[in-house]
Chains A and B, each alone.
Chain A
Amino acid sequence: MPKIKIPKSSPSIDMTPMVDLAFLLVTFFMLAASFRSSEPIQVTTPSSISDKIIPENVIMVTIDKGGRVFFNMSDAEARKELLQNMSGKYSIKFTSEQLEKFSFMSSFGCTMRELPGYIDLPADDRSRVNTKGVPLDSLDNQLKDWIFYGNIAALNTGETAYQEAKLKGESPDVNDFKPKFILRVDGEAVYAHAQNVINVFRDLKLNNLNFVTTTELAP
């Protein structure tokens, strides 16, 4: 009996379609990705049915499980102005390098005294430092100053952005450029801690607050 001949076939497979697909996906993910800025604390926010997307120009206060308070602001320009004002108020000097670094920092939760040292840390180490949060008791209410000066700075940059949009011939809504106040609270945090922060906002006559939530399906 003759041997059965296995037809000689090249061991290579045409991978072109697969590669095409791979590149397509790479392009898609590259364009669609929005990177999470590294936050010094992890917070699990409660869920709600709200579908309002987080606005652009925000002042955000984060409260973690233990009730520590962290401050953050979205606008880099406004952050510089804010730190200059705060540095004047607390007579703590910052170098221009520190100002630049501060404008790109994420949330921070330390006192004004600790802040220069905190800014000088490399970004990766900031999350490892155990800070006590921004103080907000009645004797040393630094959070109130952060929010007050932050609001002024964000209103200024918002106004410039509004005028620019106007010059471009768009018809912008002035309210879209005003800073919004966001509370990012951990679900397990005691509400009384959040209430302290809310009272600081209310003392400054900022009554319209927003809670960060994850989406849940409406019933």
Chain B
Amino acid sequence: MAEIAEGGGGDHGKGKKRAKKSSTKVDMTPMVDLAFLLLTFFVLTSTFSKPKVMSLVYPAKLTEEELKALKPPRINNAITFLLSEDEIFYYTGEYFPKSKPGPDGPTKLIETDFGPKGVRKVLADGNSYVLSGKEKLDAKLEKKQIQDSTYLNLLAELKKNKLALKVLIKTDDKATCKNFIDLIDELKIAEIGVIAPVDILSSELELLKQNSKNK
């Protein structure tokens, strides 16, 4: 391999005829060249990370009859996020339009951001019931007091509890998919069980436009 022939065989003049001594080494250079070529090819073309998916269950669409029969739900502890392009607002509890102000007057939007001090903090405060409950479950799991399957069941139950925070998401026509998925991601981090992306009301849209900076 990569050997420089050093006068092998040798000339012995008029001596006996001997079988030519041939080197046992094979020139492996072409093979090595090919090996590296293949190596380079595979290194450059292969992709390792399989894409991940984030699942989200949308509320079922109701027929008009079903809609009529439906009573407006009583929202105990819900938070509604309004998304615009790279902007995020929220209000808690029920929505009171200007024409029908609630006990504290019409709903006012609160601005926040996608950073750890914005949405994440809002959600962590709002969903403290589930988060503290999860911590207890985590501790139990670590001490092996409960099984994995029981842990998952209890966690699912905890997320469905009345005291758990429910989240509604409304978007305007400028919000990007990145904004939306970032928010869903934060909701998953905060262990929110009920996530409902719903259509925005026209009065809410107006309110959002008033607060939004990019027009």
Contact = CB atoms under 8 A, between A and B. Distances in A.
A190 B188 contact: no
Contacts of A201: 58
Interface string A174-189: 0000000010011111
Given A15-B32, A190-B173, A202-B61, A46 B181 contact: yes
Interface size class of chain B, counting residues whose CB lies under 8 Å from the partner chain: 35 or more
Given A22-B35, A48-B54, A211-B53, 8 more contacts: A25-B43, A46-B178, A50-B53, A52-B53, A187-B176, A189-B176, A209-B57, A219-B120
Chain A, interface size: which category? Answer: 35 or more
- Grouping DSSP codes into helix (H, G, I), strand (E, B) and loop, the A interface class, with mixed when no group exceeds half, is mixed
Interface in B51-102: 51-61, 83
27 contacts: A15-B28, A19-B28, A19-B35, A25-B39, A29-B39, A29-B42, A33-B47, A34-B48, A34-B50, A36-B47, A46-B182, A48-B188, A50-B52, A52-B54, A53-B50, A55-B53, A182-B53, A192-B173, A198-B58, A202-B58, A202-B61, A207-B57, A208-B57, A210-B55, A212-B53, A213-B185, A214-B49
Counting chain A CB atoms within 10 Å of each CB, the highest count among B6, B54, B174 belongs to B54
B151 interface: no
B143 to A, nearest CB: 23
Contact of A22 (B39, B50, B171, B178): B39
A33 B40 CA distance: 13
A189 B42 contact: no
Contacts of A33: 42, 45-47
A51 interface: yes
A194 B1 contact: no
